[in-house]
Amino acid sequence: MKKAIILAGLAMLAAIWCLAPGGAWAQDKTAPNQAKVKEFRIVRGMSPQAQACIECHKIVSPGIFDDWAGSRHANANISCLDCHQAKDSDPDLSKAHQAVYEKGDNPWSKSEYMTPIAGVVSPKDCSRCHPDEAKQYSVSKHANTLQIIWTIDPWLNFGLNSGLERVNGCFHCHGTVLKQDKDGRLDPMTWPNVGVGRLNLDGSKGSCAACHTRHRFSVAEARKPDTCGQCHLGPDHPQIEIWNESKHGAIYHSEGAKWNFAAAPGTWTPGVDYRTPTCAACHMSGSGKVLTTHDVTERLSWELQAPLTIRPQDFKPWPAKSSWQEERAKMQAVCKQCHSEEWVKSHYAQMDGVIKDYNEVYFKPTKAKLDELYAKGLMPKDAFFKSPLWNEFYELWHHEGRRARMGAAMMAPDYSWWHGFYECKKRYVKFHEEADRLIKEHKKAYVAPYFPGATGNTTKPPQIFGTKK
């Protein structure tokens, strides 16, 4: 009894000491059940220059610092300089940043910390630590999309949209050709930009930050459909809307918040970390014996965006280097992680049937009729968007035709039918009715004498296509 009284007294004295000024809790400034703020301390052997970058950005751009501090890069002691450091002779050297060290407006912007940096981090920079990913990405349609669109797109080749329309529309997804002025400042008509096919000042193509946004560079973010949906949306490539309607999308929206998107690269596993695939799971992530790839050209057995559906190796602007049978086998192996072989084969049989119907029933007859108008001089071959009748042909394949085919490929019935084939039928009838009338009456199609905003530069980027002599 006496012992118990003594122990109780000691406990009371300890509690009084903790609550008193200078006591344990008072020293911590928090009660034991409250979270403590973790101070980010650089104690792992960074150079003074690297430390200066971090401490300076903590002051001038705390959002950048916060993103980096919460990244795997920071956890692995990878600093700003590991990605941004350059040589004085590099074409992407940021001269504007050099002046920052002369300001002296904070303890870290001093000449003693000066080091050359590139403001824009490119896949070439990332390849220092991620060589396989950079190599795979470099041969993909993503990285080379500027070459692709400048090869086939009438908007660019005929100057049918303005520079500002391109910068704020086309190039935010496809990428710009980055340029600097004589003072080393990035041209505002080419920057900011993180388009997947951006041509960088160091000659490399693409932007890793298109999917792994800076400065967190999160693998979890890149695996989520919202990332792909930044570009793959709308009437012409509505993959995100189609996926949202599919069973895959429905299940994701119901329970995806519980899935483990942060699994280490190469370990993200269906049935363990997630229940149904996102865009990345099918087109890029490793699954079963299929290895991870950053070449989104892989695993495709059709070019569903093309006017006439063709095999990837027959897509002239960027032909695939492997056979469609080989790539189909990879995609089917991914499907079989969750579906039976019979289910997968039946799905592909349905998709192939839809593609044949689109090609033979809708596209080929309409293209033949357009060619007849050309041959009879009833429509100029450069009519493009200036002729309402030509627009009917264009939207048949570029809008409704894509939705019909992609809806079938990704199992979204409303997109395959109501947004797809139903609209194809309406467009088909309207086009052929007008085309037949013009042919019967030998009357020329209307072509607008003026087209708004048709001021774009039609010179193909010499950095990609070379300089014509």
Residue spans per domain, the chain: 48-119, 122-217, 232-452
Q: pLDDT digit of tens for each residue in the chain (469 aa)? A: 444 444 445 444 444 444 444 444 344 444 455 555 555 555 557 899 999 999 999 999 999 999 999 999 999 999 999 999 999 999 999 988 888 888 878 889 888 999 999 999 999 999 999 999 999 999 999 999 999 999 999 999 999 999 999 999 999 999 999 999 888 889 999 999 999 999 999 999 999 999 999 999 999 999 999 999 999 999 999 999 999 999 999 999 999 999 999 999 889 999 999 999 999 999 999 999 999 999 999 999 999 999 999 999 999 999 999 999 999 999 999 999 999 999 999 999 999 999 999 999 999 999 999 999 999 999 999 999 999 999 999 999 999 999 999 999 999 999 999 999 999 999 999 999 999 999 999 999 999 999 999 999 999 999 999 987 5
Instruction: For residue 182, count other CB atoms closer than 10 A to its CB.
Output: 6
Measured CA to CA, the distance from residue 222 to residue 435 in angstroms comes to 46
What DSSP element (H or E) covers 372? Answer: helix 364-375
Could you check whether the bond before residue 48 is cis, i.e. omega within 30 degrees of 0?
no
Q: Please tell me the chain's helix, strand, coil percentages from 3-state DSSP, rounded to the nearest 5.
A: 50, 5, 45
Tokens of 232: 């793959």
Measured CA to CA, the distance from residue 137 to residue 130 in angstroms comes to 11
Measured CA to CA, the distance from residue 84 to residue 372 in angstroms comes to 56
Question: Are 233 and 241 contacting, i.e. CB atoms less than 8 angstroms apart?
Answer: yes
Read off the DSSP letter of residue 177: B
Which CATH superfamily does the domain covering 232-452 fall into? Hydroxylamine Oxidoreductase; Chain A, domain 2 (1.20.850.10)
Instruction: For residue 99, count other CB atoms closer than 10 A to its CB.
Output: 12
Measured CA to CA, the distance from residue 380 to residue 153 in angstroms comes to 17
Measured CA to CA, the distance from residue 189 to residue 99 in angstroms comes to 23
Dihedral over alpha carbons 364, 245, 353, 319 (to 10 degrees): 60
Give which of 63, 97, 103 is closest to 81, Cα–Cα: 97
